[in-house]
């Protein structure tokens, strides 16, 4: 009873200063420059929570914990406590590291669990419902991040999210649209009483309260890790899993541990690139792309010119073929990181690139798929006044994950099991092919494209960035780095610039609306490329340290996020 009273005292004190207004003009020049700290995330309420923590004396890592839990409330399509993710950090003294809080396969999982007796994939089994759920890592990850790098009391970081869940938050246009769009899918797997199902269509400005989630977050505040992985919350979660014939058990929750890993590091035109190692493919693939790019003068080619897009496409084609063959959980498979990043290997791999003709993906490796990966992940970047920096990318996988809602706990569960190779050589729901390195095994972490990244120049912090977008994450982060370093753009301009994407399979260049004129499209077709238009590729949230020391926050116009500083 006493601990419950303490939570209400914290909430009362927070309510005196809380701001739940989403009317902020997130892209005005006034808000994108700051001297002391900056937070860029997919939601203005979450960004404001992070800035408030920085103003109260918290460091970037404190703010990251608070932002993560706030996103679990106000951004339920991807923000989460029922999923997982990765973090890359750099301290003010230049120490770097990464935290892997990716989900794991349950102990009862096996490599053929989504195949029928003829060894063919069963449609939908790995993508929705209770059997698609991996063991969540987000809560353990945030607790371990705070234990190692945080400075404020953990309770101070939890209260903003509890307040938002209990008192409610207004929907923006995009959230209302998606909740309406997914209503039938929610009803397919849940009771009509979950807070995201309304009798009439949701509209922007409608308020949602999630009291059950407030209760879950309160238990995490009081009991830390045990407030999620055991006790009432674990019981609610497993009760729901069993109802849908899932396989996750209490032993899976007890055994889950996030893991500190050494980041992958390399250089690009004199800049140090610090990114996420396996089981993310993002860091390795990004460094392969950048190392390959050093052989070309992109600035001379011109931004989004035919020559630049052709060259990027050919580099991407080879990198994504490597991803499918070599990348997986290094605790289960000997991922040849050094070989993949070896300059001689990259040079030999790219030696077949021709300036006047595309390479057929089938000539690099067999395979054929027709779709690209979902965009529903979320990323946030934070820099504090001391120069500490963190990039965090987290996800439920698909929009709202498995669509399974733990009603008594107030949160969605992930569908990350589909990120394994359900059958080596078979594409997942989003078109990415995987091999033996990413086959399902108990306690194994599934491969990811998430690419939280930090860039240094002359030993000093330069940039913090990352993006949602599934397989498009890697190429999105790659192009933003080129925009800043090669094309000398500012942060917001680098995010606003139009993007393209190629992932080896399908053998197509995806390009955003208004990215290419008719002459460029015809020229690329004459080189042999197949093109397909996409409305949006990636949604980056990034921070640039300018030459004058000011922080320029970037919030991608493709989303509804906000870069807020002070």
Name the residues annotated as catalytic. 377
Question: What stretches of 16-99 show up as alpha helix (H) in DSSP?
Answer: 29-32, 44-55, 60-74
* 3-state SS class at 427: strand
In 3D space, the residue among 444, 440, 442, 445 whose CA is nearest the CA of residue 426 turns out to be: 440
* 3-state SS class at 336: coil
The per-residue DSSP string of 94-126 comes to S-EEEEEE--B--TT--TTTTB-TTS-BPTTTT
Judge if the upstream peptide bond of residue 506 is cis by omega within 30 degrees of 0: yes
Per the listing, tokens 């000997």 go with 334
Judge if the upstream peptide bond of residue 279 is cis by omega within 30 degrees of 0: yes
Asked if 89 contacts 149 with a C-beta cutoff of 8 angstroms, the reply is yes
What are the residues facing 463 on neighbouring strands?
455, 544
Say how many residues make up the chain.
566
Helix (H) or strand (E) holding 457: strand 453-457
* 3-state SS class at 12: helix
In angstroms, the CA 376 to CA 379 distance is 10
What are the residues facing 405 on neighbouring strands?
412
In angstroms, the CA 502 to CA 517 distance is 19
Phi-psi region of 514 (alpha: psi -120 to 50; beta: other; left: phi over 0): left
What does DSSP assign to residue 471? Answer: T
Give the CA radius of gyration of the chain: 22
* 3-state SS class at 383: strand
What are the residues facing 394 on neighbouring strands?
85, 378
- Treating both helix axes as pointing N-terminal to C-terminal, what angle do 60-74 and 138-149 enclose, rounded to 10 degrees? 160
In angstroms, the CA 446 to CA 278 distance is 10
- Treating both helix axes as pointing N-terminal to C-terminal, what angle do 154-167 and 138-149 enclose, rounded to 10 degrees? 140
In 3D space, the residue among 355, 268, 347, 352 whose CA is nearest the CA of residue 309 turns out to be: 355
Phi-psi region of 401 (alpha: psi -120 to 50; beta: other; left: phi over 0): left
Per the listing, tokens 């569960």 go with 413
Asked if 332 contacts 322 with a C-beta cutoff of 8 angstroms, the reply is no
In angstroms, the CA 171 to CA 158 distance is 21
């Amino acid at each position: 009873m006493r601990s419950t009273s303490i939570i209400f005292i914290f909430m009362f004190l927070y309510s005196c200063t809380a701001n739940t207004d989403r009317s902020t003009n997130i892209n005005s020049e006034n808000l994108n420059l700051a001297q002391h700290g900056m937070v860029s995330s997919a939601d203005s309420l979450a960004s404001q929570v992070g800035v408030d923590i920085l103003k109260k004396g918290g460091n970037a890592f404190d703010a990251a914990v608070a932002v993560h839990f706030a996103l679990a409330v106000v951004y339920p399509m991807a923000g989460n406590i029922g999923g997982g993710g990765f973090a890359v950090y750099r301290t003010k003294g230049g120490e770097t590291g990464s935290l892997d809080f990716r989900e794991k396969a349950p102990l009862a999982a096996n490599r053929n669990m989504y195949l029928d007796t003829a060894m063919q994939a069963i449609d939908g089994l790995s993508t929705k419902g209770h059997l698609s759920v991996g063991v969540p890592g987000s809560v353990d990850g945030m607790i371990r991040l705070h234990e190692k790098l945080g400075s404020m009391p953990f309770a101070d970081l939890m209260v903003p999210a509890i307040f938002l869940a209990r008192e409610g938050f207004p929907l923006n246009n995009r959230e209302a649209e998606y909740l309406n769009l997914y209503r039938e899918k929610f009803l397919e797997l849940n009771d009509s009483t979950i807070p995201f199902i309304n009798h009439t269509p949701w509209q922007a400005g409608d308020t949602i309260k999630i009291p059950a989630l407030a209760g879950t977050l309160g238990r995490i505040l009081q009991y830390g890790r045990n407030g999620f992985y055991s006790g009432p919350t674990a019981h609610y979660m497993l009760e729901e899993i069993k109802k849908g014939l899932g396989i996750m058990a209490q032993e899976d929750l007890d055994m889950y541990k996030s893991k500190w890993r050494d980041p992958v590091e390399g250089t690009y035109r004199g800049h140090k690139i610090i990114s996420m190692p396996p089981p993310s493919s993002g860091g390795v693939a990004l460094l392969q792309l950048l190392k390959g790019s050093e052989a070309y003068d992109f600035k001379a080619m011109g931004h989004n010119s035919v020559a630049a897009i052709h060259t990027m496409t050919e580099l991407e084609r080879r990198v994504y073929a490597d991803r499918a063959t070599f990348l997986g959980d290094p605790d289960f498979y000997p991922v040849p990181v050094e070989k993949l990043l070896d300059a001689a290997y990259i040079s030999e791999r790219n030696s077949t690139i021709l300036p006047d003709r595309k390479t057929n993906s089938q000539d690099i490796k067999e395979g054929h798929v027709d779709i690209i990966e979902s965009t529903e992940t979320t990323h946030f970047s934070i820099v504090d006044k001391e120069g500490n920096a963190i990039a965090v990318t987290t996800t439920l996988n698909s929009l709202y994950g498995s669509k399974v809602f733990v009603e008594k706990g107030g949160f969605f569960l992930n569908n990350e099991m589909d990120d394994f190779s359900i059958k080596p050589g078979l594409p997942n729901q989003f078109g990415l092919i995987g091999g033996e390195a990413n086959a399902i095994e108990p306690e194994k972490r599934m491969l990811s494209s998430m690419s939280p990244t930090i860039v240094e120049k002359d030993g000093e912090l330069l940039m913090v960035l990352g993006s949602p977008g599934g397989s498009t994450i890697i190429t999105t982060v790659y192009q933003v780095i080129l925009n800043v370093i090669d094309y000398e753009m500012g942060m917001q301009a680098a995010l606003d610039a139009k993007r393209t994407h190629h992932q080896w399979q399908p053998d197509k260049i995806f390009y955003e609306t208004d990215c290419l004129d008719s002459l460029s499209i015809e020229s690329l077709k004459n080189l042999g490329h197949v093109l397909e238009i996409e409305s949006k590729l990636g949604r980056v949230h990034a921070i640039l340290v300018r030459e004058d020391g000011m922080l320029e926050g970037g919030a991608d116009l493709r989303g509804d996020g906000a870069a807020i500083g002070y």
